[in-house]
């Protein structure tokens, strides 16, 4: 299969590529966009129940109003349970509260690896924890996240940040089994030099980028994508020396699916159940009255906003039909003839059935979400085995994300090495540390009993429960050990010196 080749000077081909990969009805981007928009909505506590409610109350009320009826109060609570944000933040906190750390193998220090590692870390800077957390959140909601990097035009320094995943459309090389990013389209809202809103497109390859503009449609005139024009009149097509497309994809899992699809139906059912229960609690205060042989008022006068009775052209009072339920709510009584009567029907809440259904949905939710139930059957000072059991599904889900993120982080590190002019073949060691409750005494005991022939001191430090930055801890340990050695050494005389006199003993 021959791979796609884009001529960056061919505006017709660029328009066709943008149309096929971004706007075609069944293209991969449109499917990803629909899934991502759901993920971000549910993360912002805008579940589907916010649009539909627990039942079709709005439709019923609208119909009654259209036929001139004033219905009894019908509650329409729309309660979003915010479950999606809970499980996403749980995973992100589990994986990235301590962000991934980088190291180089310790067997090649003579070739300047220590200085290379320090330079790489200085280049990454202090923004890495924030960026990697946002990448994890975007990937969980949209299925994939994107990081971009660049060289600052003023300072020449390397910089990077996350970008909205809805703005990036990858085009992969399908000619090989191992997918490679061939081109990347980026589209976003933009104000041109005149302040007019436009859609700006970027088409990236590993050697150049083209910038295109599509004006906002006005007056029914169809807008056309054209090259962005520079002040000198030339097309804005720029070469670059990144040696690769400066955008890196971070996938949530191998299929780039978001987390929501695993449990969206259960969330919708829980939202409807709770919203419906709230509706019943409100509506139980309303009573449906059954009137028998009603012989009361059929019409009542119409009054204006000042309380004056409205008259027709002949001076007769203007009358309107009585809304019996509304009148009963206002007057709190009704008159009937000798053959009439009034019965009432009051709503009852099937609490037990709702509670049983909620328990079923709640149990199924935590399994489908592969998350940790915050209200487990037992709590307290549990063993490490029990804690690992509670976190088992979350660990499986997190491991799938870690696998995808590891390769993307490696690509990011290679981009930094390219910027530094260093050897891009260097293999970094990534250290990922989970954040979860643990039995610290149990963990510390296990680490202290393991001999050096089984586990190195460095690995013990990495896994120590109270250590957050193992590299800094190892440096401090080495510093303290050197100081202790020096203190012992200072207690004994050097060649040609006398041994320090002990207290209470005469000097010989």
pLDDT digits (tens, 9 = 90+) for 251-266: 999 999 999 999 999 9
The one-digit pLDDT tens for each residue of the chain (508 residues) are: 567 899 999 999 999 999 999 999 889 999 999 999 999 999 999 999 888 877 656 565 665 555 555 555 567 788 888 999 999 999 999 999 999 998 888 665 556 678 888 999 999 999 999 999 999 999 999 999 999 999 988 888 999 999 999 999 999 998 888 888 999 999 999 888 778 889 999 999 999 999 999 998 776 678 899 999 998 999 999 999 999 999 999 999 999 999 999 999 999 999 988 888 887 777 666 555 555 555 556 677 878 877 788 888 888 888 877 666 655 555 545 555 556 665 554 556 677 888 899 999 999 999 999 999 988 776 555 666 778 888 899 999 999 999 999 999 999 999 999 999 999 988 899 989 888 766 667 677 777 787 877 788 777 787 777 777 777 888 888 888 888 887 787 777 666 666 555 555 555 5
**Are residues 349 and 284 in contact, defined by beta-carbon separation less than 8 angstroms?**
yes
pLDDT at 340: 60
pLDDT at 338: 58
Report d(CA 345, CA 307) in Å as an integer. 35
Give the tokens for residue 310: 């409205």
**Are residues 386 and 363 in contact, defined by beta-carbon separation less than 8 angstroms?**
no
pLDDT at 268: 93
pLDDT at 52: 83
Report d(CA 215, CA 192) in Å as an integer. 9
pLDDT at 354: 84
Q: Are strands 101-103 and 237-239 parallel, antiparallel or unpaired?
A: unpaired
Q: Say what the pTM is.
A: 0.76
pLDDT at 445: 76
pLDDT at 104: 86
pLDDT at 475: 83
Q: What are phi and psi of 161, to 5 degrees?
A: -165, 165
What is the DSSP code (8-state) at residue 452? T
Report d(CA 260, CA 141) in Å as an integer. 7
pLDDT in tens, 336-354: 555 666 555 455 667 788 8
Count Cα atoms within 13 angstroms, Cβ side, for 98: 17
pLDDT at 319: 83
Q: Which of 79, 82, 80, 95 is nearest to 43 (CA)?
A: 82
Q: Can you count the helices (H) and strands (E) in the chain?
A: 15, 15
Report d(CA 65, CA 53) in Å as an integer. 19
pLDDT at 292: 59
């Amino acid at each position: 299969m021959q791979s796609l080749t884009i001529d960056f000077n061919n505006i017709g081909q660029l328009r066709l590529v943008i149309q096929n990969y971004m706007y075609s009805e069944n293209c991969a981007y449109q499917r990803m966009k629909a899934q991502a928009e759901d993920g971000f909505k549910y993360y912002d506590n805008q579940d589907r129940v916010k649009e539909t409610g627990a039942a079709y109350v709005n439709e019923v009320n609208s119909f009654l109003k259209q036929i001139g009826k004033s219905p009894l109060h019908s509650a329409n609570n729309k309660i979003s349970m915010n479950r999606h944000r809970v499980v996403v933040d749980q995973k992100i906190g589990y994986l990235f509260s301590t962000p991934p750390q980088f190291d180089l193998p310790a067997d090649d220090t003579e070739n300047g690896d220590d200085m290379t590692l320090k330079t790489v870390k200085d280049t990454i800077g202090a923004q890495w924890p924030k960026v990697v957390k946002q990448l994890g959140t975007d990937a969980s909601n949209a299925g994939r996240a994107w990081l971009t990097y660049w060289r600052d035009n003023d300072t020449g320094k390397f910089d990077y940040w996350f970008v909205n995943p809805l703005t990036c459309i990858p085009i992969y090389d399908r000619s090989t089994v191992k997918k490679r990013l061939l081109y990347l389209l980026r589209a976003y809202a933009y104000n041109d030099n005149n302040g007019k809103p436009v859609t700006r497109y970027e088409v990236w390859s590993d050697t150049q980028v083209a910038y295109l503009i599509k004006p906002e449609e006005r007056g029914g005139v169809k807008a056309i994508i054209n090259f962005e024009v520079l002040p000198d009149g030339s097309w804005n097509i720029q070469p670059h020396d990144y040696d690769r497309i400066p955008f890196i994809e971070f996938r949530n899992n191998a299929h780039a699916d978001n987390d929501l699809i695993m449990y969206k139906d259960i969330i919708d059912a829980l939202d409807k159940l709770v919203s419906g229960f709230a509706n019943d609690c409100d509506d139980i205060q309303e009573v449906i009255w059954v009137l028998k042989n009603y012989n009361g008022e059929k019409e009542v006068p119409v009054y204006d906003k000042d309380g004056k009775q409205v008259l027709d052209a002949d001076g007769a009072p203007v009358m309107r039909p009585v809304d019996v339920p509304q009148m009963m709510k206002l007057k709190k009584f009704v008159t009937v003839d000798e053959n009439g009567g009034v019965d009432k029907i009051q709503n009852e809440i099937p609490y037990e059935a709702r509670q049983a259904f909620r328990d079923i949905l709640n149990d199924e939710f935590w399994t489908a979400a592969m998350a940790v139930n915050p209200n487990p059957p037992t709590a307290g000072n549990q063993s490490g085995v029990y804690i690992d059991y509670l976190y088992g599904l979350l660990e499986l889900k997190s491991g799938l994300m870690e696998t995808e993120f590891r390769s993307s982080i490696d690509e990011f590190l290679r981009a930094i090495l390219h910027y530094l002019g260093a050897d891009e073949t260097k293999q970094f060691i990534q250290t990922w540390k989970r954040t979860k409750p643990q039995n610290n005494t149990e963990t510390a005991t296990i680490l202290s009993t393991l001999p050096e022939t089984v586990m190195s001191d460095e690995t013990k430090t990495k896994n120590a429960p109270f250590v957050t930055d193992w590299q800094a801890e190892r440096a401090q340990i080495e510093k303290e050990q050197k100081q202790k050695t020096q203190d012992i050494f200072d207690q004994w005389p050097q060649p040609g010196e006398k041994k320090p006199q002990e207290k209470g003993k005469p000097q010989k």
